[in-house]
Amino acid sequence: MPQLHDETFANALRIAAGFAPSDATIEDRLAGIPPIESLDDLPSGTPVWVRADLDVADRDGLIGDDPRLASLHETLELGRERGWRMLLIGHRGRKPHLTLEYVYQKLKETEPGCGPFIKDWFDEHAERLTGIAVKAVESLKPGQFAVFENVRKYSFETRLWTAVEEHMPDIADHFERIASAFREGATVYINDAIAASNLDFSTVALPLAMGRAALGIFTRRELAEHVVRAREAGLVCFSGMKLDKLKTLHGIVSQGRVELIIAGGSLAMALRKARADLNDEEISIGAAGEPDNKDEKAYIPESSIERARQLLRDAKEKGVQVVLPTDFVLDDGTVASDIPADAWQRDVGPESRALFENEALTWASGTQRRAAFHNGVMGQFENSAFAAGTESIVETLKKLQAAGIAVYVGGGEGRAALERYATLDDVTHAFTAGGTILKCLAGRSLPFLETLWAQANANS
């Protein structure tokens, strides 16, 4: 099957980048993207690019039993059984100098058939794979895999992150040349990197140059079985310090499914101030609202409060109940219902913990929606002085599960807290890719699904 060229390539990129947004659902896209089993006819020895989720942390060069690497096992195992020569590409963090060598060493310990680690594999000036990379691919035996160094070391990988629409024709031309160069290594592509939902070249451009492309086993299962169900959640519980979650939460409200929102952390601070503004009340959110602290991670800017006001207006219009903390554990360890101007809230207080549990269980007893979604942690749970709120919400999740609610937990800290205070078996499912899951719940398109669908649709 031929690769996409010229206008078709450029149009697919524009859709993935959001300049020509699609109103297709995740379910629509999944139905049109081949699963990995569609590649069963590939002969033994076929080289295959595998966009893998390799973004894991090391401790002094050592990597533990990470769920993201474990999630890759089924795709690698299938590739070994079929005799494919698998070329793994991925990234670590956002900094181009972060090496994947530690990840390679871990995979060498845990996965059979590990081949070489390839450090300098692309010549950006010549726009082609290096001779070292080509020889390494050719030397792989059927069923083996190689790991390529952090793809973000090359500037093309992140070029689309800051793209503006008028630059898209030039970017498309550049990406088509780079993507075509990858064909010297392989013309088949598998995406099994559900967490990689940014506008990376390797997820949104590379598949367009391939003759065939498919979704890996783990990613398809996460999306088709778990994300689709989590999108029906009537209760969402959000917390943490990342204020960009307000946009996600607003998107969830706009989807028209959620009935109850429980919020903690910096999200709750923004919503608390916004609610007071809408009610013409004066409240303090403490040091988080003081302009002198604008360089602090927990600072709440006016733009976030305005987003929170819009969210609350829409929630009221749609009949969504928003439950916020009523007391807080401050940075000095005391509990207060009002936050002094020079204090930081570090956790929700005992009154709030009881309120959250009561509201969640009351909702569970009366709703027709039988799913709930939780993301984040209520406080700085790594410090025992500020961990009670997070431990309490985990207990509430267990009670919801026992009451017949399908409980889903987002990745990152939410999953870590679940494993600290309970087990993964205490909920329906815990995701490994928090950011991607949040986009799905908010009804936002996933760029890698858009281009995988475009590749399959053009070559069908």
Place of tokens 């209520």: 378
| Structural domain count, the chain | 2
User: Do 210 and 261 lie in a common domain?
Assistant: no
Residues 6+ positions from 338 with CB-CB distance below 8 Å: 283, 284
Residues 6+ positions from 416 with CB-CB distance below 8 Å: none
pLDDT for 4 beyond 50: yes
The span from the CA of 376 to the CA of 238, in Å, is 6
pLDDT for 459 beyond 90: no
Check residue 52 and give its pLDDT.
Answer: 97
**Token pair recorded at residue 261:** 């929102």
User: Do 252 and 170 lie in a common domain?
Assistant: no
- 267-310: per-residue pLDDT in tens? 999 999 999 999 999 999 999 999 999 999 889 999 999 999 99
Check residue 173 and give its pLDDT.
Answer: 94
Check residue 3 and give its pLDDT.
Answer: 63
User: Do 271 and 357 lie in a common domain?
Assistant: yes
CA 265 vs CA 122, 156, 270, 346, 409: distances in Å: 43, 36, 9, 8, 17
- 236-248: per-residue pLDDT in tens? 999 887 888 899 9
The span from the CA of 16 to the CA of 81, in Å, is 33
Check residue 66 and give its pLDDT.
Answer: 85
- 116-138: per-residue pLDDT in tens? 999 999 999 999 999 999 999 99
User: Do 218 and 366 lie in a common domain?
Assistant: no
The span from the CA of 352 to the CA of 333, in Å, is 16
Q: In what order do the strands lie in the sheet with 335-336?
A: 335-336, 328-330, 345-348
The predicted model gives 3-30 an average pLDDT of 85
- 37-46: per-residue pLDDT in tens? 999 999 999 9
Check residue 61 and give its pLDDT.
Answer: 81
Q: What is the DSSP string of 169-219?
A: HHHHHHHHHHHHHGGGT-SEEEEE-TT--S--HHHHTGGGGSSEEEE-HHH
Check residue 244 and give its pLDDT.
Answer: 83
DSSP state of 285: B
CATH no. for residue 219? 3.40.50.1260
By residue range, what is the domain housing residue 212?
6-224+445-458
Check residue 5 and give its pLDDT.
Answer: 64
Q: Is the residue at 1 inside a domain? A: no
User: Do 245 and 101 lie in a common domain?
Assistant: no
Lowest mean pLDDT among 3-7, 49-53, 58-62, 451-455: 3-7
Lowest mean pLDDT among 70-79, 94-103, 220-229, 428-437: 428-437
Burial class (CB in 10 A: 0-12, 13-18, 19+), 17: buried
User: Do 254 and 219 lie in a common domain?
Assistant: no
Check residue 1 and give its pLDDT.
Answer: 41
